[in-house]
Amino acid sequence: MKIDFNNLKINQLNPENKFEKKIIFFLEEWLSHTEKVKIQTSGSTGIPKIFEIEKSRMLSSAKMTCDFLDLKKENTALLCLPIEYISGKMMIARAFERKLILITKEPSTNPLQEINDFIDFCAMTPLQVENSLSKIHWIKNLIIGGASVSESLKKKISQTLGNSHSLTRIFETYGMSETLSHIALKQIYPVQETFFTILDGIKISTDERKCLAISAPKLNPEVLQTNDIVELISEKQFRFLGRYDNVINSGGIKIFAEELENLVKRNIDRDLIFIGKPDEKLGEKLVLIIEGIATEEINHHLSQINYESKFHIPKEILFLEKFPRSENGKVLRREVLKLI
């Protein structure tokens, strides 16, 4: 389905599946007299919840992104994310704010399968990008969210696009439902940046835990205190270290799970997580869990990893055939811990 927001006529749209019907339903809600719309969180870091947000704040967020990417009226955008969550709803808001031509594809792990023409803007999850590498050169501006972008995926992106002479720009995003999608971006192609850069109108600081606090009055009237441990580089930039919830305290040593995961993913092209398994002596025992089955090749690559210290070497390595995930693809760490 193609929606021209420069000449929007809902009654002329012909939805052909449930996804397109949900889009029409949201468009009707968006264009109604109500000032707010309902947003559902993914539940990846807690119990899923529904809250209401002002349309005006969503438009402020949309303008920030469109300005950052220099999107123009009648540029094309691809919506291939669930419309229930902020990620999908914000694609509608951006199309509305900038008068884009929105192409909709039912969310799948390979949303570019039928795309054979250039798209100016798209938002995808890492899994979708992983399965769309042969066609990402069709996207001029791609933002990746929903989960962190692994080192192995960054390498694949660089290898794929480096030989295509593509003008594609790709950014990893940082944000959450409460900030109406992302508040910071980090370019990973053609330049691979180390730090996230915040959008205009955002201010950042940290609390006593070194967790990020976000002041974004145009997006949320309250200062948002996150559980994300960061290193502030400047007033505009920060480096993400890991979630406070995921910090593993093993024998009194605090270990950032996400940092270890990025290290291991340089050697292993699999989804994996580090967790703290309850242990009488250590408090938490460092455990590496890899999705899929064990192979000699994987075990060889594991033996080649150069950990920063002996405390970062996993005390146990387990394989799980399939990770439990939220609907938008995030690994549910608490569920994995229950399974082992």
How many angstroms separate the Cα of 250 from the Cα of each of 105, 282, 310, 335?
Answer: 45, 5, 12, 20
Q: Where is 2: in which H helix or E strand?
A: strand 2-4
How do residues 276-303 score in pLDDT, each as one tens digit?
999 888 999 999 999 999 999 999 999 9
The residue-averaged pLDDT of 153-168 equals: 88
Q: Where are the beta strands (DSSP E) in 125-219?
A: 139-144, 169-176, 181-189, 196-198, 203-206, 211-215
How do residues 170-215 score in pLDDT, each as one tens digit?
999 999 878 888 999 999 999 999 999 999 999 999 999 999 999 9
Q: Which residues contact 2 (CB under 8 A, 6 or more apart)?
A: 101, 102, 103, 104
How do residues 9-63 score in pLDDT, each as one tens digit?
888 888 889 999 999 999 999 999 999 988 876 655 556 678 788 999 999 999 9
Q: Which residues contact 143 (CB under 8 A, 6 or more apart)?
A: 65, 69, 122, 123, 124, 170, 171, 172, 173, 182, 185
Q: Percent of the chain having pLDDT more than 70?
A: 97
Structural domains of the chain, with CATH: 2-200 (3.40.50.12780), 247-339 (3.30.300.30)
